[in-house]
Amino acid sequence: MSEIELHRKLLGDRPRNEAFYAALKKVIKPGKTTVADIGAGTGFLSFLARQLGAKHCTLIEYTDTLDLAEDLARQNRIDGLSFIKGHSGELQKPPKVDVVISETLGNYSLEEGLLETVLDARRYLNKNGIIIPGRLLQYVAPVTAPRLQNEIDVWPQVGFDIDLSAARNISLNNMFVRTLRADDLLGEKSARLWDDLDFAPDADKPLSKRSSTVKWSAKDLGSATVYGYALWWDCELVPGVTISTSPYAAPTHWEQIYLPLLNPVTLDADDTLDLMMGSDTRPQIGVRVSWRTRQMRAGKVANEQSQDIARGRL
């Protein structure tokens, strides 16, 4: 995707734009607040901050989009801006500001380095400074409709007496960006919070390598068959202002993530389904998501499937 196409999608997302405007409005003190916009792109968020009275905004962007941001600032006669071309984590002497804002959210929330970016952004803050976004909640829910699995798992239907199971295994060790529908799931109550990241400057530093286990009982899922899992997130920009990619929320330009199973799982009456989620976004790793499914029966493992996008790369 070209850079301008990416920004077309971002700026065409009204709920996103309105949420960031509302968040900035809550924290900017006209004539006093200074802002650092990390991953500034076209400069849109800095332009909003200046409209709301920010004293000065520093735009930090490592791509050539920064040149476009400067052009747009001139066209709109927006002053009080500084432009730094480079990666925020590589600046040895970052400017000290009252507010850092960074919209580096992906469909899988952490795929664009959000966690590492906002943790490093603490270096930019004055005393009592604020980071936007402030908190990220990640959810997972069983997908109980076969629609997405049927779209993805084409390998057994190819035919011609050719065994494609090796290709199938690689394919199903991937996460897929898809639009989940409410009827693909069993309702909001089936969702589990698997990760809670607090980006507040005074909070403990979240680790880039993360893991969590969530559970469902047969009572939770009934006689439904589970084909995979849906991932989505809620991002609290500031208290009272949240963006969500939940299938039950208003649509945004972001979609959900579908994690397929190797084989569908149907629980017996007293079974439980245990899901161990892993996420590793250390810079030397990039993005690595893993998911291990265990169907437990009478305290023993009746079915286990382990998947990892490191095994899905070809």
Is residue 110 assigned to a domain?
A: no
Which pLDDT does position 1 carry in this prediction? 64
Which pLDDT does position 223 carry in this prediction? 84
Is residue 285 assigned to a domain?
A: yes
Residues 297, 265 contacting (CB under 8 angstroms): no
- Per-residue confidence in pLDDT tens, the chain, 314 aa: 688 999 999 999 999 999 999 999 999 999 999 999 999 999 999 999 999 999 999 999 999 999 999 999 999 999 999 999 999 999 999 999 999 999 999 999 999 999 999 999 999 999 999 999 999 999 999 999 999 999 999 999 999 999 999 999 999 999 999 999 999 999 999 999 999 999 999 999 999 999 999 999 999 998 899 999 999 999 999 999 999 999 999 999 999 999 999 999 999 999 999 999 999 999 999 999 999 999 999 999 999 999 999 999 98
Do 219 and 299 lie in one domain? The reply is yes
Domain range for residue 59? 3-103
Do 168 and 283 lie in one domain? The reply is yes
Is residue 124 assigned to a domain?
A: no
Which pLDDT does position 189 carry in this prediction? 95
Do 181 and 262 lie in one domain? The reply is yes
Residues 195, 277 contacting (CB under 8 angstroms): yes
Is residue 111 assigned to a domain?
A: no
Contacts of 261 (CB under 8 A, 6+ apart): 149, 172, 226, 227, 228, 229, 293, 305, 307
**Domains in the chain: how many in total?**
2
Cα R_g (the chain), whole angstroms:
22
Is residue 109 assigned to a domain?
A: no
Do 163 and 84 lie in one domain? The reply is no
Do 52 and 166 lie in one domain? The reply is no
Domain boundary among 103, 128, 161: 103
- Domain at 152, CATH number: 2.70.160.11
Do 156 and 284 lie in one domain? The reply is yes
Domain boundary among 103, 126, 160: 103
Do 176 and 296 lie in one domain? The reply is yes
Residues 235, 249 contacting (CB under 8 angstroms): no
Phi, psi for residue 69 in degrees, rounded to 5 = -60, -40
Do 8 and 99 lie in one domain? The reply is yes
Contacts of 270 (CB under 8 A, 6+ apart): 218, 297, 298
Is residue 113 assigned to a domain?
A: no
Do 185 and 254 lie in one domain? The reply is yes
Do 98 and 34 lie in one domain? The reply is yes
Do 156 and 305 lie in one domain? The reply is yes
- The beta strand positions in the chain, using DSSP E, are 34-38, 56-61, 81-85, 97-101, 125-132, 135-143, 176-178, 192-198, 209-217, 225-238, 241-244, 256-266, 272-280, 288-297, 300-308
Is residue 79 assigned to a domain?
A: yes
Is residue 235 assigned to a domain?
A: yes
Do 12 and 99 lie in one domain? The reply is yes
Domain boundary among 103, 127, 144: 103
- Domain at 75, CATH number: 3.40.50.150
